[in-house]
């Protein structure tokens, strides 16, 4: 497992909002050590329907609880401020769930995170789960199960679909990291791939990509040079028309670049197995693991 485990102490920024409160409850139900919420002006209250204390500032919450991670559910225009607050308070992993943050703000937040050497996942991401241990974000915990498959993805629900296929095929997961669908983001594939490559609990890596940009091409190159575990990839948007943004801000084929075909080609050239459907991902993972056992 990477980044998070059952000992990870987690703050939730924006825990008293509708979405923040709902997912705080779900995280607690999953077993996540949520140690505090942060909402300015609501300090001293509890996150609705929980026993989790709300603090006014991250600094106060961190001092009181020893949290090392923060999950952000704050509204998009407040996310830069809240993220920097967490970074400056000494948080070492920031998971930004918020969708719709203007790219200028994201770029600034990323520059702060890099400067301080902080891990930042997202924005516009489902979060990270180490099945059976902890869940930070909005992933539906019940479709995951512990196992040796490391998952990294730009997508949300598509990740769930593939996790479901893996779980149904009895291929449990070590950790699943949703890096988010925005063009500018904190964590890119290589950082997650490196972590999985060094993780004893991970045997096979599943990389889920989509059209737009060239992150998948770069990830393929990275895998070729730095990853010695088998990788199975799935790329969404094989039939997407060029020039149209497919939901995610990042999912657009621009000037003939960023097609699924180009990405799948790069993956294959890097020795990565490319699946065409979610269930094929599970099949390929299963086959690769059998081969590993034989070796």
Residues 268-287 that bind another protein (CB under 8 A): 276-279
Q: What is the crossing angle of helices 189-197 and 215-226, to 10°?
A: 30
CA distance 239 to 254: 15
Range 188-207, binding another protein (CB under 8 A): none
What is the edge-to-edge ordering of all strands in the sheet holding 231-236? 134-137, 127-130, 173-178, 146-153, 204-210, 231-236, 273-275
Which of 202, 199, 189 lies closest to 235 in space, CA to CA? 189
Q: What is the DSSP string of 238-255?
A: TTPPTT-B-SSTT-B-BT
Pick one of 241, 290, 293, 294: the residue that binds another protein (CB under 8 A). 241
Question: Of the two residues 198 and 277, which places its CB atom closer to another protein in the complex?
Answer: 277
Burial class (CB in 10 A: 0-12, 13-18, 19+), 291: exposed
Closest approach of another protein to the CB of residue 277, in Å: 6
Query: Which pair of structure tokens corresponds to residue 99?
Result: 């969708």
Longest dimension (CA), the chain: 59
Question: Of the two residues 201 and 279, which places its CB atom closer to another protein in the complex?
Answer: 279
Range 93-112, binding another protein (CB under 8 A): 99-104, 107-108, 110-111
Pick one of 27, 53, 132, 161: the residue that binds another protein (CB under 8 A). 161
Q: 10 Å Cβ neighbour count for 228?
A: 6
23 is catalytic: no
Binding status of residue 72 toward another protein by CB under 8 A: no
**Given 248, 253, 278, 282, which residue is catalytic?**
248
Binding status of residue 255 toward another protein by CB under 8 A: yes
**Candidates 73-81, 169-177, 190-198, 266-274; binding stretch for another protein (CB under 8 A):** 73-81
Pick one of 50, 155, 167, 174: the residue that binds another protein (CB under 8 A). 155
Binding status of residue 60 toward another protein by CB under 8 A: yes
Active site residues: 248
């Amino acid at each position: 497992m990477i980044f998070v485990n059952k000992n990870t102490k987690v703050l939730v920024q924006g825990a008293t909002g509708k979405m923040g409160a709902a997912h705080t409850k779900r995280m607690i139900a999953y077993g996540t050590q949520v140690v505090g919420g942060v909402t300015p002006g609501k300090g001293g209250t509890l996150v609705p329907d929980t026993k989790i204390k709300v603090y006014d500032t991250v600094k106060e919450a961190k001092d009181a609880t020893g949290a090392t991670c923060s999950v952000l559910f704050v509204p998009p225009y407040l996310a830069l401020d809240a993220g920097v607050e967490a970074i400056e308070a000494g948080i070492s992993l920031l998971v930004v769930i918020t969708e719709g943050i203007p790219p200028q703000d994201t770029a600034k937040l990323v520059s702060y995170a890099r400067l301080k050497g902080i891990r930042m996942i997202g924005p516009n991401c489902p979060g990270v789960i180490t099945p059976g241990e902890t869940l930070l974000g909005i992933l539906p915990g019940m479709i995951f199960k512990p196992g040796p498959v490391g998952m990294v993805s730009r997508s949300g629900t598509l990740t769930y679909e593939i996790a479901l296929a893996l779980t149904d095929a009895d291929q449990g997961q070590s950790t699943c990291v949703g890096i988010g669908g925005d063009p500018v983001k904190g964590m890119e594939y290589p950082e997650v791939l490196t972590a999985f490559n060094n993780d004893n609990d991970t045997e096979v890596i599943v990389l889920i990509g989509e059209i737009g940009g060239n992150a998948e091409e770069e990830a393929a190159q990275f895998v070729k040079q730095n990853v010695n575990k088998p990788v199975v990839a799935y790329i969404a948007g094989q039939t997407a028309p060029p020039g149209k943004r497919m939901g995610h801000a990042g999912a657009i084929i621009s000037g003939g670049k960023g097609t699924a075909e180009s990405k799948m080609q790069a993956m294959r050239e890097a020795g990565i197995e490319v699946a065409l459907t979610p269930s094929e991902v599970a099949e390929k993972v299963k086959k690769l693991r059998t081969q590993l056992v034989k070796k």
